Chains A and B, each alone.
Chain A
Amino acid sequence: MTNKTTMKKKKFNDSYLFILPYFLVFFTFVVLLILISVILSLTYYDTINFPSFVGFQNYINLFTQDSDFMQYALPTTIKYALIIGPIGYIIAFMMAWLLAQVAPKLRTVLAIILYSPSLTSGVLMTVIWKVMFSGDTRGYLNYFLLNLGIINEPVQWLQDTRMIFGIMIFVGLWSSMSVGFLAMLSGILNVDKDLYEAAYVDGLKNRWQEIFYITIPSMKPQMLFGAVMAVVGTFNAAGLAAALSGSIPPPQLAGWLIVDHMNDYGFGRYEMGYASAMSVVLLSIVMVFYSFSIKLFGEKKIR
């Protein structure tokens, strides 16, 4: 009896040692941060004086006083997410599906090319887009369009407020083949081949039906992982507009996202409480997207 309890105790301690190191960083840099966000969002905090409780004042100001937030940051973020999220996800799935039809060696090469934009951060790669969309005649796109006679004078792609958002969408779609894309690719490759054969015997008519009745249902877990990664990637586009236009903030706040607005208040004006309120709003928006993708691809749990 005593032997049994000591053994039990030993095993018990052991397990906690394995999880402890990760738990410490996880708690400090994920759980705690979210708690702090929520608490600080209810205070006024300038990093020097102790935070003072202001109730929901930050949220009220955010939604009623801050026209930059309501007119630019919020709608731009939602618009950007609604476009990049679903379209980027669909493109990633289509690319994965097409790649799955190609012979292995070639597939590897093409997959690396498609995945390459995700290998480095978008902001670091803006050097490329700056030259491609440069406003003078030396910019590749301007040169190309001038030569074709589509435009008569160079377009100021990166200074035009309407163009910046379009270019952001383009850059976002360019880097939409993320880790989720790799997951979906391996998901498609691992669908049981007998399933296809059986389905065609049962009267599957074409490849569209094949995708919707066999491929997607048999790789739902990977589809969900891909969707989650797509949501995470979508909201990571901080500083893109500023990097593209070369000025902070970009002209007329074009392409100004909640993240940019938050960083501006948090690290530019040291209004940490107000910035925290924005991060809570942002996290709530991410949650909405997340629960939507679970509704789409999550397996219905039977209790």
Chain B
Amino acid sequence: MIKLRNQELTKTERVKRKYLRKARRNMKRFQGIKINPSCFHVSQLKFIFLMLPMLLITVLPLIYIFSHAFKPLSELYAYPPRIFASRITFENFRSLFIAASQTGVPFLRYLFNSVVSTTVTIFLSILLGSLAAYSFSFLKYKGKKALFGLNQIAIMIVPVAIAVPRFIVMSSLGLTNNMFSHIIPLLAMPVGVFLVKQFMDQVPRELYESAVIDGANNWKIYTKIVMPLVKPALMTVAILAFQASWNNIETSSLYVDNEALKTLPYYFSTLTLGNSAIAAQGMSAAASLIIFVPNIVLFILLQKNVMNTMAHSGIK
């Protein structure tokens, strides 16, 4: 009887049924989509377990600098070495503070230089980067494609690889021994421009066109319409600029001779390079903590924006 039914069916119908049977069989193997679950389930534990070695390697240093920075000197010498401090003290921070004043430059001066140069770098990077990205995404002009292609290639240029010509250019432009030495060389950030441009490409073209019809000029469209819409990408640029500037040792060591114009991480790096004594360990840990905490706080605050931006980070 089944045979008879099979004969009655058209060929397409037969193929379709065969396919469905196979699909049903396949679906038995498929236990739902595991990517991007909405809530926690015990089955996720195995993935966490697989990540455990890497998580340990990355979390241990964090624990270490936090605990070491607050350890009293006696415990730094302790044998066996302990990971956690039993008594919390700010001794290390104080000696760091005092050691800085011995170089003739007060600690707060280094901090001031770092804060000012980092703030200006972030602000200017966002301004220059978003203006360029706006022109790449919305405007039409000669050489745009070539320029964007060049920017694309420049993403892979490793900054340390061109340190020598950068030094030559900086000194011939007279950009040594002033605050601009910390700012100007960091402003060309091809990755930032690329990320903002990719994000701007998501802004509906109708919005731009209707603004043009309403008589808005480019500056108005840029400030009033586009900039508020691409905030996540701008925040990502802010983080990248912050990291480039706040952690930078090179600008202080190469372009600035005047001790009073050097920045915090440079001063800290001289501490860790010069001393290997245990006393310096506590100080270095305190120094690392001071440098590290703003980094992680900023990232935690802005991580949603970063992830949002990264969704459009693809290079084709």
Contacts and interface: CB of A to CB of B under 8 A. Distances in A.
Interface of A: 12, 14-16, 18-19, 21-23, 25-26, 28-34, 36-37, 40, 47, 91, 95, 98-104, 106, 108, 110-117, 119-121, 123-128, 130-132, 137-140, 143, 174, 177, 179, 182-183, 185-191, 193, 196-197, 200-205, 207, 215, 219-222, 224-225, 228, 231-232, 235-236, 238, 243, 246, 259, 262-263, 266-267, 272, 275-276, 279, 282-283, 286-287, 290, 298-299
Nearest to B129: A22
Contacts of B140: 15
A215 B34 CA distance: 12
Contact of B188 (A30, A111, A114, A139): A30
Interface string B111-129: 0000000000000000111
Contacts, number: 323
A131 B82 CA distance: 12
B314 A283 contact: no
Contacts of A298: 315-316
B38 A104 contact: yes
B315 A224 contact: yes
A267 B81 contact: no
A112 B300 contact: yes
B151 interface: yes
A22 B299 contact: no
6 contacts: A22-B129, A22-B131, A101-B44, A186-B307, A200-B26, A286-B158
Which of A30, A37, A104, A126 has the largest count of B CB atoms less than 10 A from its CB?
A30
Given A221-B314, A243-B273, A120 B291 contact: yes
Interface string B46-66: 011011001101110110110
Contacts of B41: 103
Q: Is the interface of A mostly helix, strand, loop or mixed?
A: helix
Contacts of A119: 243, 292, 295-296, 299
Nearest to B281: A131
B218 A15 contact: yes
Contacts of A16: 141
Interface of B: 22-23, 26-27, 29-30, 33-41, 44, 47-48, 50-51, 54-55, 57-59, 61-62, 64-65, 68, 77, 79-81, 83, 127-129, 131-132, 134-136, 139-141, 144, 147, 150-151, 154-169, 173, 184-185, 187-188, 190-191, 193, 217-219, 222, 240, 243, 247-249, 254, 265, 268-269, 272-273, 276, 278, 281, 284-285, 287-288, 291-292, 295-296, 299-300, 303, 306-308, 310-311, 313-316
Given A137-B79, A138-B81, A201-B27, 5 more contacts: A18-B135, A98-B48, A120-B295, A179-B191, A188-B36
Contacts of A108: 303
Nearest to A135: B276
Given A114-B55, A228-B315, A276 B299 contact: no
Nearest to A117: B58
B254 A102 contact: no
Contact of B164 (A37, A117, A186, A188): A37
A256 B286 CA distance: 29
A259 B158 CA distance: 10
Contact of A29 (B36, B48, B185, B284): B185
Contact of B249 (A99, A123, A203): A123
A124 B269 contact: yes
A23 B147 contact: yes
Contact of B187 (A15, A29, A138): A29
Nearest to B57: A174
